Structure 1
Amino acid sequence: MAWELDCESAGIACPFMIRVEDKNELASIVQQHLKYTHQKSMSKEEILSSAKEV
């Protein structure tokens, strides 16, 4: 199974989308994207609760 998350689903007008096999990797990459692109932060738990298993 893979995990997927995108900014648009979170209500942010941004084309970023990630799909990876490892949910820890997903959380890490999303945290970096949020920090450097949107100057925002989310906890790992918040990110994983928003992610979809595909």
Structure 2
Amino acid sequence: MTKEFDCRSAGVDCPFMIRDENEDEMASLVQQHARTTHQKSMSKEDILRNTREM
């Protein structure tokens, strides 16, 4: 099942969006984006709470 994460749904005004079938890969990419772009860290659990299934 494909999942989608976007910064706006997480409450950040940013156009970043990712869709992936692999939760671990998606979480890793979101964590990298959050660190480099927003100087924030996010746990995998926080990320999964803000994803939706496509």
* TM range, smaller chain: over 0.9
Root-mean-square deviation over aligned CA pairs: 0.7
Q: For structure 1, which runs of at least 5 residues remain unmatched after alignment?
A: none
AA aligned to 1:35 is R
1:40 corresponds to: 40
Return the TM-score normalized by structure 2.
0.93
The residue that corresponds to 1:17 in the other structure is 17
Letter in 1 for 2:17: M
Q: Which stretches in structure 2 are left out of the alignment for 5+ residues? A: none
Moved runs in structure 1, 4+ residues, more than 6 A?
A: none
| Residues 2-38 of structure 1, C-alpha deviations (whole Å, 9 max, x = no match) | 0100001111110000001101111000000000000
What is the percentage of aligned positions where both structures have the same residue?
61
| Counterpart-to-counterpart distance in 2, 1:46 and 1:14 | 17
- In 1, distance between residues paired with 2:45 and 2:8? 19
Aligned residue for 2:14, secondary structure, equals coil
Q: d(CA) in 2 for partners of 1:24 and 1:40?
A: 18
The TM-score with structure 1 as length reference comes to 0.93
Q: How many residues align?
A: 54
